[in-house]
């Protein structure tokens, strides 16, 4: 199995002799006082953008890893014909880095989210039939989870929304009969009050079903759901009514779903909620270099996190960037623009994906042997990959990257982008 960390990573320069110097101490103090390093809107220099072809290349690598057998370092369980949960990093000898062990078994979140991503790839201009047999196996597994008595109660409404999206798309490229499963799940989830941020995934699933079937009842549910979701903004502007909305990944699924639904029913007014989310995120959670923090970091909690981190030998949450969050920001911006929003957030989306695509930034990922050239594991802001406390990756994380690469490589009409990245006016363009 090819799931061991690179020895070169274990001896990376980021962990070398400079630790403990006065410059290092000053840098730590600076980040303690300002975790965002000035924040995104303070950025005056134009960060290097990912090369256009990088999106398509990364997409090919990511999809290959999703369907590659576990024995070859991928996420496909050949025996059970479904995705595994993910991998966890286990320390070997101190000088030998990590061993990444697969996490198997039935679970009710990450696999369905990755299934949605796989079908979004399959129905994109880049989708092929190369993995159709395995995709059918995963869909059958998700159908069992969503409909059998032993499992159906374990899936959260937002996850069911992701499956409505997946089964709807499957009906257009694999078998028209999958639309029946999507319709059953729609009827089961209809009438939700959208109390939780992640319930926005229902809007995305319903919107996909409405677009394919042109069913008036489904469209009415999307319209009602958008209005319901708009009305449940908290006093501080965050969507939904649960505390999870402070976590970037949950909130992004909500806002992405809202943007998808707004595009489906042609309701541009709903984009004001998306704009509020994006503005607050860029102010409170995005670093000057495009790194996205998982949640806002109140000043009063920073020292406590540092002290707890020393005790537990792990970095504070605001010292860690997750590739999943980078991908979710880019996907949210793409959905917002596709629904008719402005392009003022494009550069932030490109910088977010730059964290994932820029190999010079991350050096060798400890997951190089799991996903070629794609770092999935969280990394610290000083580029240490998979620090203590952050040594798990899920198939849902990989799915988030796939969705982002599809969005990055297509235009607002869903067509293959020939010039993948817009350049500043007056400069030459890069062709994909």
| Mean per-residue pLDDT pooled into runs of 10, the chain (432 residues) | 41 40 56 67 60 78 94 94 94 73 93 98 96 98 94 93 99 98 97 83 97 98 92 62 69 92 95 89 88 77 65 79 94 94 89 77 45 71 83 94 91 56 32 30
Q: Which domains are seen in the chain, by residue range? A: 7-408 (1.50.10.10)
Question: How confident is the model at residue 406, as a pLDDT?
Answer: 93
DSSP classification of residue 396: H
For residue 70 the two structure tokens come to 């576990």
Dihedral over alpha carbons 383, 388, 390, 395 (to 10 degrees): 100
pLDDT of the residue at 115: 99
Longest dimension (CA), the chain: 66
Q: Please state, in angstroms and rounded to a whole number, the distance separating the CA atoms of residues 145 and 148.
A: 6
User: Which run of H or E residues covers position 102?
Assistant: strand 98-103
User: What pLDDT sits at residue 302?
Assistant: 63
Query: For residue 425, what pLDDT is reported?
Result: 30
Q: How far apart are CA 117 and CA 112, in angstroms?
A: 9
* pLDDT score of 378: 87
Residue 207 in tokens: 């919107």
pTM to 2 decimal places: 0.85
Return the structure tokens found at 161: 């929304």
Which tokens sit at 158?
């937002």
CA dihedral 162, 165, 168, 174 (to 10 degrees): -80
* CA angle (296 as vertex; 294, 297 as ends), nearest 5: 105
């Amino acid at each position: 199995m090819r799931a061991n960390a690179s020895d070169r990573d274990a001896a990376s320069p980021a962990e070398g002799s400079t630790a403990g110097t006065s410059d290092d101490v000053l840098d730590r103090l600076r980040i303690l006082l300002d975790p965002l390093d000035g924040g995104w809107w303070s950025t005056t220099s134009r960060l290097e953008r990912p090369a256009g072809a990088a999106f398509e290349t990364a997409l090919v690598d990511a999809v290959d890893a999703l369907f590659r057998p576990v024995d070859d370092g991928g996420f496909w369980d050949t025996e059970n014909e479904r995705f595994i949960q993910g991998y966890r990093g286990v320390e070997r000898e101190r000088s030998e880095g990590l061993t990444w062990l697969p996490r198997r078994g039935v679970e009710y979140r990450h696999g369905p989210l990755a299934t949605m991503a796989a079908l979004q790839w399959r129905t994109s201009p880049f989708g092929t039939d190369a993995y159709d047999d395995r995709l059918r196996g995963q869909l059958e597994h998700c159908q069992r989870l969503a409909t059998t008595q032993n499992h159906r109660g374990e899936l959260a409404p937002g996850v069911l929304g992701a499956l409505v999206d997946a089964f709807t798309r499957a009906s257009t490229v694999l078998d028209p009969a999958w639309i029946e499963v999507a319709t059953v799940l729609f009827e089961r989830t209809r009438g939700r009050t959208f109390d939780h941020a992640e319930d926005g995934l229902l809007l995305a699933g319903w919107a996909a079903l409405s677009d394919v079937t042109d069913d008036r009842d489904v469209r009415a549910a999307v319209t009602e759901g958008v209005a319901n979701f708009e009305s449940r903004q908290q006093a501080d502007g965050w969507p939904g009514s649960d505390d999870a909305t402070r976590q970037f990944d949950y909130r992004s699924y909500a806002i992405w779903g809202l943007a998808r639904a707004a595009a489906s029913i042609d309701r541009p007014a709903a984009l004001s909620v998306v704009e509020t989310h994006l503005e607050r995120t860029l102010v409170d959670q995005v670093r000057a270099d495009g790194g996205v923090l998982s949640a806002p970091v109140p000043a009063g909690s920073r020292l406590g996190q540092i002290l707890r981190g020393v005790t537990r030998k792990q970095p504070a949450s605001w010292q860690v960037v997750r590739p999943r969050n980078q991908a979710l920001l880019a996907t949210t911006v793409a959905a917002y623009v596709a629904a008719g929003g402005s392009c003022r957030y494009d550069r932030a989306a490109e910088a977010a994906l730059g964290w994932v695509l820029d190999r010079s930034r991350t050096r060798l990922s400890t997951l190089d042997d799991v996903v070629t050239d794609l770092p999935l594991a969280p990394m610290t802001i000083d580029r240490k990959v998979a620090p203590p406390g952050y040594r798990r990756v899920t198939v849902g994380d990989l799915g988030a990257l796939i969705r982002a690469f599809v969005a990055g490589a297509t235009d607002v009409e869903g067509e293959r982008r020939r010039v993948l990245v817009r350049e500043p006016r007056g400069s030459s363009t890069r062709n994909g």
